[in-house]
Structure 1
Amino acid sequence: MNSDNMDLKAVGPRIRMRMPLLTPLEARVVETVFALRSFNEETSLKEIATDAGVSEAMVVKITKKLGFAGYREFRNAVVQYNQLPTAEMHQELSVDDTSQEIIQKVFRTSIQALEETLSIMDVDAFDRAADLIHGATQRDFYGVGGSAQIARDVAHKFLRIGIRASIFDDSHMMLMSASLLGKDDLAVGFSHSGNTMAVIEALQLARRNGARTIAITNYNESPLAQHADVVLCSTAQGSPLMGENAAARIAQLNILDAVFMAVAQRDYRAAEKNLEKTMAAVASKRKDKFL
C-alpha cells in the first residue's frame, strides 16, 4: 500500500478490509492503535507494542500484513486519516442516546460509508461488471438474509429496463441454478462478510461451469471474492448495536445504482424503450392516476 498516492479517505477502509486476514491477537493490536486518542506522528513503535502487550517485531509484521512498508508508513497514514472530517463522522451508538443523537449518528455513519466506499472504488472493476451484466444471457443473483434484499432491489431496477435477473436465497436453489449456468451466463454473489457458505459454494460451482462471476462484498480478500472474476467492494464501520452491514447496505445500493446506470448506458435506446413499457404496464396500479 503506497500511502503517498492513495486518497487519504481510503486508508481506514483499506485497513478494515484486511482485518479478516489477521489473527485475533493481531486484530487487537490494530484496535489498540485506533482506540488511542493520543496516536500521532510521535507515537513510537515501542509504545504501541507495550500498550498491546506484544513485541515490536509483531507490530511491524502486522503493518506489513496490512499492506504498508512498515510501522512508520502505517503511523503516518493513520494519523492523516484520523484528521479527516469523514473519519470523525462515525460515533458509537449508546443506549443513553437521545433521539436527536441517534439520528445524527446513524446518518453520519452512512455518509462516512458512502464517502469511503467512493474513495476505494475500482473503476475498471466497475466497468467490467457493467459489461458482464449487459452482455450475459442469463443472470442469477445469490444472497441470504439482508444481502438477498439488496439482490432483489437490484433485480427490480434492471427489470425496469429489460435486463432480466433471477434471485435465489435458498442454498439448494442456488446450487441448482449454478449447475445450469454456462459460458454466456453470469452469477452475482451478495455477501457483506464474504463468508456466507451458501453463496460461496454457488459462485464456485457457477464459475466451474464456465459462467462469469461478480462478488458484492465488504471485504475484497474474502473467500467469496476469491471465486469472483470481478469484485465490487463497499466499506463501512460497524458498531455493537447496528453492526457493519447497516451502513454497508447503503453503500452497496449506491454502487449498484451506479452499475445500473452504466448498464443502461450501454444501450440507452433499448433501456429507454423498455422503461416506457414497464412504467406503462404498472401505471394503472397508481392511485394518482385517478386524482
Structure 2
Amino acid sequence: MNNVAEAIRSQYQQLHPGEKKIADYILANQETVADATIQGLSHKIGTSTASISRFARHIGYPNFRDFLIALSAGRKSSSSDFFTEIKQEDQSEQIVKKLFSAGVSALTATAAKLDMADLNKVVDWLISSSKIGFFGIGGSSIVAFNAYHKFLRTNLNIVSHPDYDIQIMQAAHLTSRDLGIVISHSGRNQDTLLVENKLRENGSKIVAITAFPESPIAKNADIVLNSYSEEVNFRQESMSSLVAQITIIDTLFTLVGHRLNKETDQVIGAMRHVIEQTRVHK
C-alpha cells in the first residue's frame, strides 16, 4: 500500500494512546517525516524507537524502512491533503473537489491493500457454499442490498434483507455449508456483531467488509476485506468507505462471473429478457 495516511486514519480508533501520539505527529508532518530517521522521529515525538517500529508493523508494514518508503511514495503520488477537511468558508467547487478526491483516495487505498489470496479464497467460498447471506445495518444495508442485487445475476443461492429481525433469522438458518458476508464501516455495530456471532455459532464461514481491520467484527471473521476511506467532516459514516465497499462487492461479483462464465451468462441473459419486458418501447 502506498498511501500511509489512509492506513493510519482507517485504524486510528483502534490505536492505543501511545500509538495515537505517533499517528498524530506523522499525519501533521508527512513532508518532514518521510525524510526522517527513526532516531530523529523518536526524539521529535518523545517516544522510543521500538514504539515507532511496533507502530509501523501495526499499520501494516514489516519495518520502519518500508513504512518510510510507502510514506514517500504516497507523498509523491498525491497532489495535496486537500480533501481531509471541509471548512465553513469553502466554496461549492472546493467542497465538490474534496468529496470526489476522498472517493478516489478510498478506492486507490482499498485496491492497493486488498490481498489477492483472500479475494480468491472468498470467491472459492462464494462458489462452493450452499447458501450465501449478505448482512449490514444502516448505511451498510445499502451495500448488502447492492450485493444481493448483483449476485441475483448468478446461479448462486443468496439471501439478504434490510430488516434486522429478518437478518438475524436468516443468519440462524445458515449452516457450516454456508457463507455469511457481514458489512460494517466501523466494525463495531452491535447488531451486526450479533448476526456475526450467530453465524459463528452455526459454523458458517464469515467474511467481514469493514474500514477498521482491528474492530470486533473484523476479529470475529475468517477473512477481512478492508475498505479504506478518507474521513470528511459533516459525515458520521464515510461515504467514501461506502463507495469502496460497493466496489469490493463489484469485484467479487466480477470474479465469480469470470469463474462461472457460462452459467453466469445464461442467468444474465434470462434476466435481461425479463427486465426488457418491463420497459416501454416507442
Task: With the length of structure 1 as denominator, give the TM-score of the two structures.
Answer: 0.84
DSSP 3-state at the match of 1:216: strand
Measured after TM superposition, the shift of residue 217 of structure 1 is: 0.9
Matched, 1:123 2:111: no
Q: Pick which of 175-184 and 107-116 moved more.
A: 175-184
- Matching of residue 218 in structure 1 with residue 211 in structure 2: yes
Cα shift at 1:45: 6.0
1:8 — aligned with what? 2
Q: Aligned-residue CA RMSD in angstroms?
A: 2.7
Q: Is contact 1:13-1:120 (8 Å) kept?
A: no
Q: Distance in 2 between matches of 1:119 and 1:215?
A: 18
Moved more, 151-160 or 43-52: 43-52
Are 1:284 and 2:277 matched, yes or no?
yes
Q: Post-superposition shift, 1:24? A: 3.8
Shift in Å, 1:74:
4.3
1:148 positional shift: 0.4
Structure 1 counterpart of 2:153, from 153, 156, 160: 160
- Contact 2:130–2:178 under 8 Å retained in 1: yes
Match of 1:101 in 2: 94
1:114 Cα deviation (Å)? 1.0
Give the one of 140, 150, 157 matched to 2:143: 150
Task: Report the Cα offset of residue 30 of structure 1.
Answer: 0.9
Q: Map 1:190-229 to 2 at 5 A.
A: 190-229=183-222
After TM superposition, the score normalised by the length of structure 2 is: 0.86
> 1:213 is paired with a residue of what secondary structure?
strand
Residues 103 and 67 (structure 1), Cα distance of their counterparts in 2 relative to 1, 3 Å cut: closer
Asked if structure 1 preserves the Cα contact closer than 8 Å seen for 2:123 and 2:252, the reply is: yes
Per-residue CA deviation, residues 89-145 of structure 1 (Å, 9 max, x unaligned), is 634222222221122111111111111111111111111111212222221111101
Q: Does 1:113 align with 2:106?
A: yes
Matched, 1:36 2:36: no
Q: Which has the larger displacement, 255-264 or 34-43?
A: 34-43
Tell me, in whole angstroms, the C-alpha distance in 1 between the residues paired with 2:57 and 2:177. Answer: 40
Give the stretch that moved more between structures: 205-214 or 20-29.
20-29
Comparing 63-72 with 32-41, which one deviates more in the overlay?
Answer: 63-72
Deviation at 1:229, TM superposition (A): 1.9
Match of 1:135 in 2: 128
C-alpha contact 1:63 1:71 (8 A) present in aligned 2:
yes
Where structure 1 has 5 or more consecutive residues not aligned to the other structure, the ranges are: 1-6
Q: Which residue does the alignment assign to 1:250?
A: 243
Question: Aligned residue for 2:83?
Answer: 90
Q: Deviations over 1:163-199 (max 9, x none)?
A: 3422244444333222221121111100011111221
Distance of 1:226 and 1:247 partners within structure 2: 23
Percent identity of paired positions between Structure 1 and Structure 2: 24
Uncovered stretches (5+) of structure 2, i.e. residues with no partner: none
Q: Contact 1:194 / 1:218 at 8 angstroms: preserved in 2?
A: yes
SS in 1 for 2:77: coil
Once the two structures are TM-superposed, the CA of residue 253 in structure 1 deviates from its matched residue by: 1.1
Q: Structure 1 residues 87 and 203, CA, compared in 2 at 3 Å: closer, same or farther? A: farther
Aligned position for 2:231: 238
Q: Distance in 2 between matches of 1:254 and 1:68?
A: 24
Deviation at 1:39, TM superposition (A): 1.9
Partner of 1:4: none
Higher RCO, Cα 8 Å, sep 6+: 2
Contact 2:175 2:203 in 1 (8 A): yes
